[in-house]
Amino acid sequence: MTPPSSTTLGVREDFPFLAARSGQIYLDSGATSQPPRVVLDAQRDFTETAYAAVHRGSSAATGSATGAFERARTRVAGFVGAADDEIVWTENATDALNVLTWSLTDATLSGEGALVLGPGDEIVVTEAEHHANLIPWQRLAARTGAILRAVPVDDAGLWSVDAMAGVVTERTRVIAFAHVSNVTGFIAPVSDVVDLAARTGAVTVLDACQSAPHRPLDLHGLGVDFAAFSAHKMLGPTGIGVLYGRSELLNALPPGRTGGSAITSVTLERAEFLPAPHRFEPGTQPVVQAVGFGAAVDYLDAIGMSAVAAAEHELAQELVETVSRVDGVRILGPAAGAERAALVSFVVDGVHAHDVGQFLDDRGITVRTGHHCAQPLHRRLGVHATTRASAYVYNDAADIAALGEALGDVRAFFGADR
């Protein structure tokens, strides 16, 4: 790595995708980030020299593979301030939230476990949630008779603790919310929500997909009960994510998915399950991906998450100020000067978001277009789709300037400036 400056961490050369595309500007890390060479090498090395089943059998190969698998868990747990037994491997964050809601369903059906929901109990989300942190709760409410309630957002797409307090009642059992909005870049006041939940005894579920990659994260320090995040948004591979849960809660929940490797004993009538996290990990696990995930958090640790957060704070302001200066462009979320993540979603007057994205792509700038899996939020703000630019460790101020220059040409190209 080359020494970082104010708005660059000097790591672009570590990413084969970018090294192979001279001049390519990748501003879509909010969807999927690029893996550095060390992550690719770690997965290749494991596959070529240590590939074997884990937690099955007593061979030396199995022992070696299991060691690599569990060391990755330890590294990821440490990265987010959790204990090893509080990190459950899942397919991704969406899967993690589904695993949690299915486990809560089983707890309700059996009348046992950490949380039993019933008719009239309430699950609270916000109007800004990603579908992954909305639809599983919709279905849990339908299965248990609970009521799903939503915290409203304002005309900028933001919600407040006061607005949440107006929705939370003594019947609230779950509060699920994003640490950082994948559409607006809004950073949630987690400690205030945890305090609010404590008043009613509700459990908190944090969608950390847009925070774990970009800022220091201490789940114990935050005090949330559950959290979910994905490797592919934090320089790791696809196909693996994490469900975090406080140890006592995970061990009190029945597993929502069952099968081999998650049990202590099985008869034809019943099964007994291992302690967490393995009770939630039946079947063949994503071992290669776990090794890659461990390498990704090692890479981020080597940069330093405080350095990542500081660089992205500057990029966030560059993004807002640059995009705001373009005529005919409206930004969603916090205004210039307000704290936000380094992502900006915007509308170009008279030009559909997909056309904006194609125009930028032709200029060598990769962004995301659409509703970003947040249709209720877009509907509330009166737009069908937006264009989103999201920065990460390999971006710098020059990338943001190039985005602004290209955006300045969009409306004229489509004749929308007449």
Beta strands (DSSP E) in 190-319 are 203-207, 226-230, 241-245, 263-266, 271-273
Helix-strand-coil split of the chain, %, nearest 5: 40, 15, 40
Residues 116/252, Cβ–Cβ less than 8 Å: no
Helices (H) and strands (E) in the chain, counts: 14, 15
Strands 87-90 and 368-370: unpaired
Region of residue 22 (left: phi > 0; alpha: psi -120 to 50; beta: else): beta
Which two three-digit tokens encode residue 106?
């089983």
**Termini Cα distance of the chain:** 47
The span from the CA of 356 to the CA of 348, in Å, is 8
The span from the CA of 231 to the CA of 242, in Å, is 8
Residues 322/400, Cβ–Cβ less than 8 Å: yes
Residues 331/156, Cβ–Cβ less than 8 Å: no
Which two three-digit tokens encode residue 132?
């992954």
What are the catalytic residues?
373
The conformation of residue 156, written as its DSSP 8-state character, comes to: T
Which residues on adjacent β-strands are paired with residue 235?
Answer: none
CA torsion, ordered 120, 126, 130, 135, to nearest 10 deg: 10
